[in-house]
Amino acid sequence: MLALTSATPLRPQRYLPSRQPPPNLLISIPSAASPGRITAVSVSPAAATSPADLDSATAAFRDYQLLFASQRSEAAEPVLLRPVRGSVPPDFPCGTYYLTGPGLFSDDHGSTVNPLDGHGYLRAFEFGEDGRCRYSARYVATEAQREEREEATGRWRFTHRGPFSVLRGGRRLGNLKVMKNVANTSVLRWGRRLMCLWEGGDPYEIDPATLDTVGPADLLGSYRVEPGRRQDGGGGGLGSVAVEIAARLLKPVLRGIFKMPDKRLLAHYKIDPKRKRLVMLTCNTEDMLLPRSNFTFYELDENYEVKEKREFTIPDHLMIHDWALTDTHYVLFGNHIKLDIHGSLLAVSGLHPMIAALAVDPTHPSTPIYVLPRFSQHTHQLRNWLVPIEAPWQRWSLHVGNAFEEMDAAGNLKISLQISVCSYKWFNFQKMFGYNWHTGKLDPTFMNIINEKEDMMPHLVQVSFELDAKGTCRSCSINDLSSRWKKPADFPTIHPSFSGQPNTYIYAASTSGRRSFLPCFPFDSVVKVNMRDGSAKSWSVVNRSFIGEPIFVPKGMEEDDGYVLVVEYAVEKKMCYLVILDARIIGEDEAVIAKLEVPKQFTFPIGFHGFWACR
């Protein structure tokens, strides 16, 4: 398989039929005869436009740009989707699949942003009792969205930098509009409320009937830490005093000048089906720049009343995106970061993305796992939770598929995490999704790096560790989820009723690896992993099509009794399809139960995270 390297980055062009093709592209690929040797190859764009050669560097760049093409139109009124294959099965549950993600990447004044800074675009697929599916889509009308879009003309001008982007057509030097709440990362329907969440601020509430934006939802405002209130942990000493002084100096700057909130509500939440609770996590904004991490967990019932609140201060510089929940613990997989002084100066100037102030910290040979108690009265309290379990390798944690605990008769507690991880050598804040802020283009080279000696790209693992009755760690192991599936994978999901308990199956987005120049990402397959025997079965879309995050829709109580929903992005046709897979028979030809076509005028870019809400 040919692997792209970042030695000579390709310079993608935004694909427009009326434009002339770009000049020949020079790429670096491993030599087939000598795998350790790098060979330069010139690729002609003319060949890429030929039907005989769709697997070329130019075709890869073109398809990648199309996958992230902006959609400025909204489907405010529900549109009936036409089946192009099969039909919605009679036993398909009534409910709505919500999918959120960025909808806009380029404005009308020359600026292009990282997908992470793209304005939130909420899509809804509603399945009714008549066995048909209706589609609607609206932009989340955040404060930044209302400011950057001219209501009268529909034109856009980016004024907020966003943490991951650099403006080209807007104000750069001295631009203090950094935290651009785009509500584009995840979506949640809990109780009677629908919300879109982002990583750096309050969620936005949405009207489930119309997808109109209600406004920002300050779910936890009255429950946040009062000034001067003592938090658990953290220790004392001169070091902690210095950090506290730095925190007090940073807070008014971040809040007053950069308009950042005191606390960031993370986009990933957990649902405890046993207790019927929504569990959410916040962290202090200033901790992004300090060797300290303050985490507060909130457990809410269906009326959004806080039933449990736990606060923890960890003397470590961490960045958490997703996390795990078990019956008695919160589990944080510690992603080490550090402050980049040089990058901070460039970021404040506006010449580099603001995220340049941070970098991954690869100096730690192991990965800390913080096991934090949910309830103060629970056993294993002799364990000092400030002391992490050190996983014997270094990996960056991305997404959690499931986590559960098992206790034996002697009181030993085993906790298992099923997660997607990647290498610190690959993870780079400034290059996520291949964003090149110098050119404003998306370069898939970064997302397709293969190293035969190491799994660089996201892949699925199970981390298990055992605590004795006193809380002492007796063992810790890390294993691939499947012994027969060695391909990149992410966005793990399971039957929701099995959340928090041992499971056999896990589903994820993965790759077939059949495209030489896009071997890892974007994903084009759904893989079903059987963790009992290590086997894996997959379903893949046709060439020049990709998929997003799969989501499980339960039908019965057996673990694979249900359907997997996934959006297929057919960039060749510039079309989107919602695909319904039978979870039991993924890997067989009959797995596709239905394929529903989204009208071409409403084709949308790839989404981030979704949510299934039964009626």
Amino acid identity of residue 273, one-letter, is P
Q: On the CB side of 551, how many CA atoms lie within 13 Å of its CA?
A: 23
Residues flagged as binding site for Fe cation: 321, 399, 609
Taking alpha carbons only, the member of 185, 67, 82 closest to residue 578 is: 82
CA atoms of 448 and 60, how far apart (whole Å): 11
Q: For residue 76, give Cα distances in angstroms to 83, 286, 507, 610.
A: 21, 39, 32, 19
Cβ count near 414 (within 10 Å): 15
Residues 118 and 142: beta-carbon distance below 8 Å = no
DSSP lists the bridge partners of residue 273 as none
Taking alpha carbons only, the member of 551, 576, 589 closest to residue 187 is: 551
In 281-403, which residue ranges form alpha helices assigned H by DSSP?
A: 341-349
Q: Which residues are within 8 A (CB) of 167 and not within 5 positions of it... i.e. 6 or more apart?
A: 111, 113, 158, 161, 175, 350
CA atoms of 583 and 562, how far apart (whole Å): 6
Q: Indicate the pairing of strand 551-554 with strand 562-570.
A: antiparallel
CA atoms of 178 and 201, how far apart (whole Å): 12
Per the structure block, which two tokens stand in for 85? 């294959």
Per the structure block, which two tokens stand in for 380? 């294993």
Cα angle 250-255-257, degrees, rounded to a multiple of 5: 90
Per the structure block, which two tokens stand in for 206? 């949405």
Phi, psi of 42 (to 5 degrees): -95, 125
CA atoms of 328 and 299, how far apart (whole Å): 13
Task: Order the strands of the 505-510 sheet from edge to edge.
Answer: 489-493, 505-510, 525-530, 536-540
Q: What is the phi-psi region of residue 101: left when phi exceeds 0, alpha when psi lies from -120 to 50, beta otherwise?
A: left
Q: For residue 28, give Cα distances in angstroms to 61, 321, 453, 613.
A: 15, 33, 19, 46
Per the structure block, which two tokens stand in for 43? 């690729």
Per the structure block, which two tokens stand in for 467? 């605590």
Taking alpha carbons only, the member of 181, 185, 196, 143 closest to residue 432 is: 185
Amino acid identity of residue 490, one-letter, is D
Cβ count near 502 (within 10 Å): 12
H helix and E strand count, the chain: 5, 38
Residues 104 and 482: beta-carbon distance below 8 Å = no
Residues flagged as binding site: 321, 399, 609
Residues 79 and 132: beta-carbon distance below 8 Å = no
Enter the DSSP assignment of 149: B
Q: Indicate the pairing of strand 505-510 with strand 525-530.
A: antiparallel
Q: Which residues are within 8 A (CB) of 21 and not within 5 positions of it... i.e. 6 or more apart?
A: 45, 46, 48, 49, 58
